[in-house]
Chain A
Amino acid sequence: EDQVTQSPEALRLQEGESSSLNCSYTVSGLRGLFWYRQDPGKGPEFLFTLYSAGEEKEKERLKATLTKKESFLHITAPKPEDSATYLCAVQGGVTGGGNKLTFGTGTQLKVEL
């Protein structure tokens, strides 16, 4: 069974204070690892897809990296508008469950002035 664990559960940063969020996973045949951002009362908003170890993707102040066991979401010089819950999910290759996403419980990030 695919599993995703995210840490920390919550993170408080000062504006400009860079940090990283962790996503550890176990999956049979990784098809993709996904990062989403979720604001209160809204659906998850897609950020990145990573497919293989060593891959990196960037968008504004966010950079996602992938190894065979974990993914990191690096946030450089965050701003208050980066405050949200960040969700990690994997799509595995086991037959019968290969299309669904298995999600972690998220990291709730708050960036303060």
Chain B
Amino acid sequence: GAGVSQSPSNKVTEKGKDVELRCDPISGHTALYWYRQSLGQGLEFLIYFQGNSAPDKSGLPSDRFSAERTGGSVSTLTIQRTQQEDSAVYLCASSLQKQETQYFGPGTRLLVL
């Protein structure tokens, strides 16, 4: 079946602009996660959605970062007033339940000039 999909695959933006990254989880998966992978760093947790519960935002690095999940499916990660240090690969994952194996999408490569 179809895996996790993300768009765009690559995004180049100028410092100070806002960007939106999209994630389509595997159909039927109730849990959705966003991670960030910077060069030479491990994957860093950003935010987690489970069903209709309030999201776990404990990993968001600043209030410039926000995410929403509409209808329990598609999620959008928004970065406002982008900075050069936001340049990274943003990865989305989904799982059947909150403690199940997480399956990752291909990522969005963000470059802030």
Contacts and interface: CB of A to CB of B under 8 A. Distances in A.
Interface size class of B (residues with CB under 8 A): 20 to 34
A46 B101 contact: yes
Contacts, number: 61
B56 A96 contact: yes
Q: How large is the interface on A (under 10, 10 to 19, 20 to 34, 35 or more residues)?
A: 20 to 34
Given A32-B99, A99-B31, A103-B42, A43 B91 contact: yes
A52 interface: no
Of listed A31, A43, A101, A105, residue having the most chain B CB within 10 A: A43
A45 to B, nearest CB: 7
B106 A43 contact: yes
A4 B103 CA distance: 20
B87 interface: no
Interface of A: 4, 31-32, 34, 36, 42-46, 49, 87, 89, 91, 96-106
